[in-house]
Amino acid sequence: MSSWDRFTDTFFNAKVMAKYWPDILYGVGVTVELAVLIVVSGLLAGLALALIRALAIRPLNWLIIFIVDLFRSLPPLVIIVLIYFGLPAADISPSGFVSTWLSLALVLMAFAEEIFWAGITSIPKGQWEAARSTGLGFGQTLTNVILPQALRLTIPPLTNRTIAITKGTALGTVVAVSEILGMASSAMSNSYNPSPLMMGAAAYLVLFLPVVVAGRWIEKKFAWKR
Amino acid sequence: MIVSAKGIHKHFGHLHVLKGVDLEVAERELVFVIGPSGSGKSTLLRCLNRLEQPSAGSVTVDGIDMLAPATDINHARQRIGMVFQSFNLYPHMTALGNVALALRKVAGKSRAEADALGLAALERVGLADRATHRPLELSGGQQQRVAIARAIALEPRVMLFDEPTSALDPELVGSVLAVMRSLRESGMTMIVVSHEMAFARNAADRVVFMDDGLILEQGPPAAIFENPAHERTRAFIGQIQRH
Amino acid sequence: MIQSFFNPEIIVAAMPIVLAGLFNTILLSLIVVPLGLAGGLVLAMLASVKSPLVRWPLMAWVDFFRAFPPLVLLVLLFAGLPFAGLELGGFACVAIAFFLNTGSYYGEILRAGIDSVPHGQVEAARSTGLSGLQAMGYIVLPQAVRNVLPDLLSNTLEVVKLTSLGSVVAVPELLYQARQAQSITYNPTPIVMAAVIYFLILWPLVRLLSRLENRALAGRG
Ligand SMILES: Nc1ncnc2c1ncn2[C@@H]1O[C@H](COP(=O)(O)OP(=O)(O)OP(=O)(O)O)[C@@H](O)[C@H]1O
Ligand SMILES: [Mg+2]
């Protein structure tokens, strides 16, 4: 056996791959499900916080700023571990899936709030005044005049941040979520062969490479021009 | 009196910007407000539609007490159009979208009705053919005329202008003044803060000179321009005319 | 509640273990941040070579490592390489994975910074006799770094947070030590301690960033 054959036999072993590809595929399903849940709930929660912040109620705003700072400062893995291994001591035992979802959604919420808020405050005061002078109320001005302009500004930074946080679904493997990395790791230890790990890596590339390339495109398309 | 402001004071923190201003405006009157920078002209206008909350005093517009807590301020503001120095058009909407927004959201018109009324308002400022353009695709003068259309579409009883031509290139000023003149001819009550003295001379009924948060003197344009009672007024007018 | 999450006895007992972890986290950060920056700098300077022969492979490299979750890269090195007879320690794996992953992020940021410096700056520098490399080092880079400073800081914050991945490959950094202490004491207090420490050391940076970013977006609006 040549060394090249030995290499492919180890890392791209056809028999092992044939046996474990359904596992990896299952992991892909879990990863996608987790990612979608994180993106939807994280972005919505972030937008909600930014809108509440626009009401300018002092104590509430301090609370929002603290929450945002907290989840920007803590490493996502620390939050996951804290929820998964810590909460049971308070008689709440979330599954690994829920712990990962909750943690990453909170992190995305924090970053999204920050970005949405920066977008809202970057709209000139004159826009508010013009709208209010025609009789539009606070909420009407926010939804019809301010947000459409602010959201456009926030798309590039939001896209990049969302991609980065969604990749964190791999952290779920630490708390036994059967997402791609988790499935690949256990398949690797069952088969004493790294081929499942290579399949897992390929699956991540297939999932995220298009997203990264799309992010690049969005960044160009929504470049600052008004 | 369609506009009646009495004893208006305004503080910004320690800054005392309006120090007891009384201003009465009759229906169909065009009142011109002049005065040095920082004298409180903009603040006074903004107190009239409550974009600023006066610290003391009373404001009545078209019989509505603007400062009463029970007043529906958004409804009241429909009757007071405002035009800003920097246009403040909504950049994400077309010209027609800018004009129709409040018609739909505040006046409660259907989209079709609002579009028809908006188009009519654009027609009045001579821009019906620019209805589908975005603000950035319009010249400064055209943008300001769209802003005027946005205000008059709501059929206000009073129009407030805060330096409507100051941000414009000189050759574009005329088109905006022409629209203002035709508004005046249609009988609109107008309060105009501006340095366009020639326009004041032949269009204004009354000129008000503000200085340091107070109305120092007022009267017909000819009297104020040719024969001011106060040295401050004379100095200010001299300065403006030299430019 | 206090007994479970802020148990005073456990805090005292776990403190030395957790502080040792903090020390290693700082050490790890001091190694991987400069390493990532150096990698990013090389990528960014290569990107200023306009030839498509350089540009396309470079873009592929950067996107490839940005698409990989860093943990996957780390596991690939730590658990995969031994099958090829290459057994690196957890620490070396972290260093390599971070070099590849964060280097690509730093590279993108620095490239944007270099692009933001007007070409006239290079021409002016070259006209006074500076070499291309000198113009880059003395004229372009200082301005580029200043223009993208918020992004550089923000990425550095993320890198420091990412060092917690070391716990997965038994690098005794803050999170790893806290989990060790937790499994000895059967109490989550040490993990809470780690979280508090992360928050206390990173909060000032987060505050600063929030100001810088707000200003940046406002300036564009
Ligand atoms: N929102 C605010 N907060 C604090 N100070 C303000 C505010 N708005 C206005 N001022 C101050 O109030 C004073 C009067 O301002 P105002 O804009 O009414 O003057 P103006 O007569 O319109 O001047 P200009 O001709 O320059 O437009 C100024 O000193 C200004 O700095
Ligand atoms: Mg003013």
pLDDT digits (tens, 9 = 90+) for C75-125: 999 998 888 888 888 899 999 999 999 999 999 999 999 998 888 888 888
Query: CB A78 to CB C218 under 8 A?
Result: no
Query: CB A205 to CB C64 under 8 A?
Result: yes
List, in sequence order, every residue forming a beta bridge with B161; answer none if it has no partner.
Answer: B83, B192
CB-count exposure of residue A86 (10 Å: 0-12, 13-18, 19+):
buried
Q: Which ligand is nearest to the CA of B212?
A: 1
How many structural domains compose chain A? Answer: 1
B60-90: per-residue pLDDT in tens?
Answer: 999 999 999 999 999 999 999 999 999 999 9
CB-count exposure of residue B80 (10 Å: 0-12, 13-18, 19+):
buried
Residues in chain A within 8 Å Cβ distance of C191: 78, 81-82, 85-86
Could you tell me if B106 and A134 are in contact, meaning their C-beta atoms sit under 8 angstroms apart?
yes
Ligand 1 center to B30 CA (angstroms) = 23
Q: Is residue A11 part of a domain?
A: no
Ligand 2 center to B162 CA (angstroms) = 7
Least confident of A144-148, B188-192, C63-67, C172-176: C63-67
Q: Is residue A70 part of a domain?
A: yes
Contact partners for chain A, using 3 or more CB pairs closer than 8 A, are B, C
* Mode of pairing for the β-strands spanning B30-34 and B15-25: unpaired
Residues in chain B within 8 Å Cβ distance of A132: 51, 74, 77
Could you tell me if B225 and B237 are in contact, meaning their C-beta atoms sit under 8 angstroms apart?
yes
How many structural domains compose chain C? Answer: 1
What is the predicted pLDDT for the residue at A223? 64
Range of the domain at A145: 23-221
What is the predicted pLDDT for the residue at A66? 95
The residue nearest atom 6 of ligand 1, judged by CA position, is B12
Is the per-residue pLDDT at C157 higher than 60?
A: yes
Q: How many CA atoms lie within 13 A of A125 on its CB side?
A: 2
Range of the domain at C150: 2-220
Query: CB C80 to CB A77 under 8 A?
Result: no
Taking the alpha carbons at both ends of chain B, their separation in whole angstroms is 35
Percent of chain B with pLDDT over 70: 100
The closest alpha carbon to C161, from A171, A69, A76, A106, belongs to A76
Q: Which ligand is nearest to the CA of B162?
A: 2
What is the predicted pLDDT for the residue at C221? 39
* Site from B79, B85, B90, B146 to mutate, A interface, most A CB atoms within 10 angstroms: B90
Q: How far apart are CA A190 and CA A187, in angstroms?
A: 5
- Residues with pLDDT less than 50, chain A: 225-226
Q: Is B94 left (phi over 0), alpha (psi -120 to 50) or beta?
A: beta
Strand order in the sheet with B3-12: B15-25, B3-12, B56-61, B64-65
List, in sequence order, every residue forming a beta bridge with B206; answer none if it has no partner.
Answer: B31
CATH of the domain at C198: 1.10.3720.10
Ligand 1 center to B65 CA (angstroms) = 24
Could you tell me if B124 and B171 are in contact, meaning their C-beta atoms sit under 8 angstroms apart?
no
Rg (Cα) of chain B, in Å, rounded? 18
A21-39: per-residue pLDDT in tens?
Answer: 999 999 999 999 999 999 9
CATH of the domain at A70: 1.10.3720.10
A33-64: per-residue pLDDT in tens?
Answer: 999 999 999 999 999 999 999 999 999 999 99
DSSP-assigned letter for residue C167: G
Q: How far apart are CA B168 and CA B42, in angstroms?
A: 18
Q: Which residue of C has its CA nearest to A156?
A: C217
What is the predicted pLDDT for the residue at B243? 63
Residue A159 three-state SS: helix
Q: Is residue A12 part of a domain?
A: no
List, in sequence order, every residue forming a beta bridge with A196; answer none if it has no partner.
Answer: none
Q: How far is CA B182 from the centre of its chain?
A: 15
Q: How many CA atoms lie within 13 A of C25 on its CB side?
A: 28
What is the predicted pLDDT for the residue at C219? 52
Percent of chain B with pLDDT over 90: 91
C164-208: per-residue pLDDT in tens?
Answer: 999 999 889 999 999 999 888 888 899 999 999 999 999 999 999
The two three-digit tokens of residue A198, written as one number: 């290579």
Query: What integer best gives the mean pLDDT of chain B?
Result: 94
Ligand 1 center to B42 CA (angstroms) = 7
What is the predicted pLDDT for the residue at C133? 84
User: The whole model's pTM is what?
Assistant: 0.88
C129 contact A CB<8A: no
